[in-house]
Every structure is written in structure tokens, then in C-alpha cells.
A = this chain, B = another copy of it.
């Protein structure tokens, strides 16, 4: 797990993230992926208004590898696996306390403000190219 991923965020687990098992709930992992994805959009494209994000999630697949506990720092690593004409695929690794907690992949489709499908905007394509990956050593 030492290879370098092109983009990552760190997230502090909140009490509200836990469920009745005392671990981070499975749906919350998707919110963690979203934090990494939105941070990429904001840092790369200077996005400001929350509603200007030019894509929606079309598919997610996630494999849960270990439970995440309160007090752990979560690190979400992200890379862009491929870019098509109107969609792109991101891959992720979630680490908690240095442990692999999940691996995931999501497909996004580009849309305009009315929800109509559009080609991947050039500014977004440039951002995605900067985070092409994941590292070969994965």
C-alpha cells in the first residue's frame, strides 16, 4: 500500500457515522468517496457553488475490507481510471488507521444544470488527466 495515488483527502470519523454495531455504516463509505470526488472538482476547477458540479453518479461498486472505528482517521485515495466521451470512471481506496478499509469504483455521467447529458467539459477532462491512475503497484 505504499504506491502513490494522485489525489487524496483525509476525513475524521464522526460519531454520527457509526451505526448500531459501533462501526462506520456501509452507506457512509459512499459519502467518504464523495468527499474525495468533490474535493477534486473544487481544487481542480475552482468550483464554488455546490450546485455547479457537472456530473452525476451513474454506478458505484464497493468492496468492504475492514470495519472503521471512531477515533480513526480515514484517508480516501482517488484516481481516474478512464475518460469516455460523456462519462468517466474513478477508482478509490479507503484506508483507516493505515489499514485497507474498502476499494471502490464509480462511474460518473456529465450533465448540464437541467440534468441533460453532455460531453465531458474540457476543464474537467484536464483535471481528470492529472489524476490518471491508479498506480501500477496497486
Are the CB atoms of B20 and A27 closer together than 8 Å?
Answer: no
Q: Say yes or no: is A16 at the interface (Cβ < 8 Å to chain B).
A: yes
Main secondary structure of the interface of A (DSSP, over half): mixed
- Shortest distance from the beta carbon of A42 to any chain B beta carbon, whole Å: 6
Report chain B residues within 8 Å CB of A21.
Answer: 20, 51, 53, 56
Note all chain B residues with C-beta closer than 8 A to A57.
26, 64
Cα(A73)–Cα(B62), bound, Å: 27
Within the assembled complex, what's the spacing in Å between the Cα atoms of A60 and B63?
7
Copies in the complex: 4
The closest CB in chain B to the CB of A109 belongs to B64
CB proximity of A34 to chain B, nearest CB, Å: 5
Interface size (A, Cβ < 8 Å)?
39
Contact B60–A26 (Cβ < 8 Å): yes
The 10 closest A-B pairs by CB, nearest first: A27-B30, A61-B61, A20-B50, A16-B31, A18-B20, A20-B22, A26-B57, A22-B50, A50-B70, A27-B31
The contact sample of 21 A-B pairs, CB cut-off 8 A, is A11-B14, A12-B12, A14-B34, A15-B31, A15-B38, A16-B25, A16-B34, A19-B20, A20-B50, A22-B49, A22-B51, A26-B60, A27-B27, A27-B28, A27-B31, A38-B70, A57-B64, A58-B64, A59-B64, A60-B60, A67-B115
